[in-house]
Homo-oligomer: A and B are copies of this chain.
Amino acid sequence: MSAAASQPDLLHEVAIELGDRSYPIVIGTGLLGDASAWAQVPRAAAAMVVTNDKVAPLYLERLVAALQGRFPQIHHVVLPDGEEHKDWQTLNRIFDALLSQGCDRKTVLFALGGGVVGDMTGFAAACYMRGVPFVQVPTTLLAQVDSSVGGKTAINHPLGKNMIGAFHQPVRVVCDLDTLATLPPREFSAGLAEVIKYGPIADMAFLDWIEANLAALLRREPEAVAYAVRRSCEIKGWVVGQDEREGGLRAILNFGHTFGHAIEAGLGYGEWLHGEAVGCGMVMAADLSRRLGLVDEAFTHRLTELVREAGLPVRGPRLGVDRYFELMRLDKKAEAGDIRFVVIESPGHAGVRPAPEAVVREVLQHCTA
Question: Residues of A at under 8 Å CB distance from B?
Answer: 45, 88, 92, 95-96, 99-100, 102, 104-106, 126-131, 152-154, 157, 159-160, 163-167, 245-246, 329-330, 332, 334-337
Contact B332 A166 (CB under 8 A): no
Q: Given that A105-B332, A329-B102 are contacting pairs, would A95 and B127 also be in contact in the complex, using a CB cutoff of 8 Å?
A: no
Contact A167 B131 (CB under 8 A): yes
Tell me whether chain A's interface is mostly helix, strand or loop, or mixed: mixed
Contact B104 A163 (CB under 8 A): no
Contact A129 B159 (CB under 8 A): no
Q: What 4 new A-B contacts, CB under 8 Å, besides A96-B159, A127-B166?
A: A45-B337, A102-B329, A130-B246, A131-B245
A283 CA to B166 CA, complexed, in Å: 38
A127 touches which of B131, B165, B337 (Cβ 8 Å): B165
- Across the interface, name the chain B residue whose C-beta is closest to A44: B336
Contact B159 A130 (CB under 8 A): no
Contact A166 B106 (CB under 8 A): no
Q: Given that A166-B127, A166-B166, A167-B131 are contacting pairs, would A102 and B330 also be in contact in the complex, using a CB cutoff of 8 Å?
A: yes
Contact B88 A92 (CB under 8 A): yes
Contacts of A330 in B (CB 8 A): 99, 102
Q: How far is the CB of A243 from chain B (nearest CB, A)?
A: 13
Contact B166 A131 (CB under 8 A): yes
